[in-house]
Amino acid sequence: MLSRRLLRIKVIKELYAHLKSESDSLTASLKELKASVDKTYDLYHLVLHLVADVAGYAEERIELARNKKLPTTEDLNPNRRFVDNALVAQIAQSRALNDYLKKHKLSWAASPELIKTLYNDLAASDFYAKYMSASTVAVDGERASRRAAQALAVPSPAPVTYRDDVRLVEEFYMQIVAESDQAEEVLEEQSILWADDLDFATIMALRTIAACKVGQEDIPLLPQFKNDDDRRFAKELFTAALTGYDEYLAYVERFAQNWDVERIALLDSLIMVIAIAEMVTFPSIPVKVTLDEYIEISKYYSTPGSSVFINGILDKVVEELRATGRMEKTGRGLL
């Protein structure tokens, strides 16, 4: 599912774009916000299939080597542990995943250099070398070589199990994909709406991988939203922030009177306006959650020191909202 933090970031970006464009159309901006949120869900599916594309490239290399004029013994007897990885096969053969990619016209076909680079990075990693040097390919969680060795009462190397296959794929995403600047660049070239979304999509892919089990007919794809509240969250938050923008900005300016208001970063102001809108509009979200979320977001997206500044201003705004009854929270411990 798309996280609330991602949805908050999408709202911040869309409000920034709305103000910079001097647009007066709430409807148009809400449409763009929805498109941005939907594109991240598209990216989740695309990223999830990435390991299958890399394995496909690895198999192409094996076939090219096998068909050389003078193939070596290694060429004719390649190590197929990665290309025969059970989880990779589940991902590659997933009907639900492939149907989604086909419907939304998503693929890595236009990015062969990225696939090649990711494979080379994977092949150079220690965790890949360890995986590839284990005993022969698993059959129902055990190894044919292990059974033969047991029959002869000869100790055998530990077999690669389905869990090992899963761990290899997890490491691929955590150590190779998540650290790939090239992947970020390729995605931003494909869609500006994918800027900064790779980490979120990778986390979703990892959650899906963790839920996979041996023998499943299809992989358990995540829904776009956890529930209807999350489905409405971004739209309602953006609408509240935009329609109440002047009121909420006035709070910021009043409590930032010891600062040069003109020098306050626009993004800092937007983050605080949206945080205030959330505190006022969503009675079921604890104040602490809202404050923590926007302070963390500011550490990544705004200027050095912004988080301290934003924290100080919002603390004063919260006191004012409570004192005037402008903010009402329902449920125990929400204040």
pTM for this model (two decimals)? 0.89
Question: What sections of the chain are H helices per DSSP?
Answer: 4-21, 26-66, 73-76, 86-93, 95-103, 112-123, 126-132, 144-151, 162-171, 181-190, 198-210, 228-243, 245-255, 266-281, 287-301, 306-324
Residue-range domains of the chain with CATH: 4-210 (no CATH), 244-324 (1.10.940.10)
Determine the length of the chain.
335
Q: Please give the chain's pLDDT, 335 residues, in tens.
A: 999 999 999 999 999 999 999 888 999 999 999 999 999 999 999 999 999 999 999 999 999 999 988 988 888 989 999 999 999 999 999 999 999 999 999 999 999 999 999 999 999 999 999 999 986 544 444 444 444 444 444 454 566 799 999 999 999 999 999 999 999 999 999 999 998 999 999 999 999 999 999 999 899 999 999 999 999 999 999 999 999 999 999 999 898 876 655 557 789 999 999 999 999 999 999 999 999 999 999 999 988 888 888 999 999 999 999 999 999 887 654 55
Structure tokens at 15: 């409000």
The reported pLDDT for the residue numbered 259 is 61
The reported pLDDT for the residue numbered 263 is 54
Coil/strand/helix, residue 143: strand
Query: Is 215 exposed, middle or buried (CB count within 10 Å of its CB: 0-12, 13-18, 19+)?
Result: exposed
The reported pLDDT for the residue numbered 304 is 81
The reported pLDDT for the residue numbered 15 is 96
